[in-house]
Structure 1
């Protein structure tokens, strides 16, 4: 008779794309949302565009259109509040803009390649998922491969019936990669929906605080931040992401190997992600 044995080692890390492994500051989707809405005569700030980040792009536009201020601007211009058909029209304009401009925001986030090499040296598979649809992910992945990064598996937002914050994309990675137990998986993301996705899938979940959507700075701007401002941003973003329930919160992917070590220590001690409370920022054991 088969008997359940809890995992003791991490088998798979599932990485987000924009703001996690590529596009420091997550500019590719946010800037294009601003441009797409502008073509419909509806001004949108970058901060507003960033609000629902992490969801599939149609759902992201729907969430923007549900914002009372944005809906009022749309109604003033078009004579009615935006319904699903309006959302679809914006999405259909957003998509070619996104495909056209994705190459402008394709640089790998510093630290990505050494971290991937470290994970592979430990026999850890690299899964990935994104709020991008498959047609955009093809271009994102091609650009990443040209820079030396490839994932073992990619699940786009439209590859599953329900994207983030539902667990489908993370679970699809685990199935495709033949992982023995979801507790042997780590989901890494810079947005609340992506963090909840990992938790809903029963995986360890790691939040990235400073490389992604919440900080919204280029790498150069991030490096130029005085330490006091960096600490303030870290505190603000960790408070924003805490309700999503990440087990760990770190600045960028460069710190991930230490988290993997900490998680494996917890697995050895019998801890499981479904029953473990998050650890405070900086707690690695």
Structure 2
């Protein structure tokens, strides 16, 4: 029996994350802002601390940082009370312009992204985006990447939604914006667990990014200065962390995405025909 409802089983769209995925190799912009933000309140926050909740909307990220036991302890010693939601609101209001300033120095497209983009465009695949950044920050980023040759088909920011990552609502908005369906014709590419879960929870194919992402945290030059054994060790460590996001595939950077498009399409076709029997 043929399933007459199912759409043409080709890939209809790829939805990318931003920092650590298509811009800002190593995802450095938000880290500097988080450390500086808490530092202005006399709280010592490490880069490792700051990277922990990466991928979450920035309000949730700040809330998670403030509630880390050793950070909350510093907060109580400094202000004689625990870190609260009201404190999160206050820090978030300061963080937004701080991060907006930081992204101006960290909006360079990941090497190889434009080549991948050209392949997707040639195949008629739509290119969407979601992000843990808010709209105010992305209003700074968009003109910078446009100058480099990229304008996305859509953009869903964390504050556009009643509930952002790891919920699927950002991807649902992409389906509407891009006019694509079913979810299995869409690929979500991200370097964080919450961002991958955003795709997984919506029923998309998911591709995790290792080398350029938050979990590695190296610059492009630092990554390429490593030998292959060092890279493989990092790949193993980061793969284990990203496994919590349930990715279907893992790649070093978005430059490697074209290598797996055919494999994803083949698996989709196989699943389509098996379900139609």
Smaller-chain TM-score bracket: over 0.9
Structure 1 residue 130: Cα displacement: 0.4
C-alpha RMSD over aligned residues? 1.2
CA offset digits 1:11-43 (Å, max 9, x no partner): 000000000000000001111000000001101
Match of 2:177 in 1: 176
Q: TM-score, normalised by structure 1?
A: 0.93
CA distance in 2 between counterparts of 1:140 and 1:185 reads 24
On the 8 A contact 1:14/1:188 being kept in 2, the answer is yes
Measured in 1, the distance between the counterparts of 2:8 and 2:166 equals 25
Corresponding residue of 2:70: 69
Name the structure 1 match of 2:121: 120
Work out the CA distance in 2 between the residues paired with 1:197 and 1:128.
12
Q: Is the 8 A contact 2:114 2:150 kept in 1?
A: yes
How far 1:271 sits from its partner (Å)? 5.5
For the residue of structure 2 that corresponds to 1:151, the secondary structure is coil
Runs ≥4 residues deviating over 3 A: none
1:220 aligned to 2:221?
yes
1:55 equivalent to 2:56? Answer yes
Note if contact 1:166-1:196 (Cα within 8 Å) is conserved in structure 2. Answer: yes
**Cα deviation 1:57-90 (Å, max 9, x = unaligned):** 0000011111101110111111111100011111
**TM-score, structure 2 as length reference:** 0.95
Measure how far apart 1:243 and its partner are.
2.1
Are residue 34 (structure 1) and residue 38 (structure 2) matched? no
- Paired residue secondary structure (1:270): helix
Matched length: 271
- Alpha-carbon distance between aligned partners in 1 of 2:215 and 2:118, rounded to the nearest angstrom: 27
Residues 7 and 181 of structure 2 are in contact (CA less than 8 Å); yes or no, is this contact kept in structure 1? Answer: no
Is 1:162 matched with 2:163?
yes
Which whole-Å CA distance do the structure 2 matches of 1:108 and 1:152 have between them?
16
1:191-232 Cα offsets, whole Å, 9 max, x none, are 000001100011000000111100000111111112111110
Q: Is the 8 A contact 1:187 1:203 kept in 2?
A: yes
In structure 1, the partner of 2:251 is 250
- 5 Å-filtered alignment, 1:80-159, equals 80-159=81-160
Partner residue, 1:196: 197
Separation (CA, whole Å) in 1 of partners of 2:84 and 2:181: 43
* Contact kept in structure 1, 2:133 and 2:157, CA below 8 Å: yes
Question: What do the CA deviations read for 1:85-122 (whole angstroms, capped 9, x no partner)?
Answer: 01111111111111122111011100100000000000
Give secondary structure in 2 for the equivalent of 1:161: coil
Question: Secondary structure at the residue paired with 1:187?
Answer: strand
Partner of 1:229: 230
C-alpha spacing 1:53/1:271, structure 2 compared with 1 (3 Å)? farther
**Matched-pair contact (CA < 8 Å) for 1:7–1:183:** no
Name the residue aligned to 1:278. none
Deviation, 1:155, is 0.4
Deviation at 1:3, TM superposition (A): 3.3
Q: What CA distance in whole angstroms lies between the structure 2 residues aligned with 1:40 and 1:89?
A: 11
Going from structure 1 to structure 2, the CA distance change for 1:271 and 1:205 (only over 3 Å counts) comes to farther
Structure 1: which 5+ runs fail to align?
A: 273-285
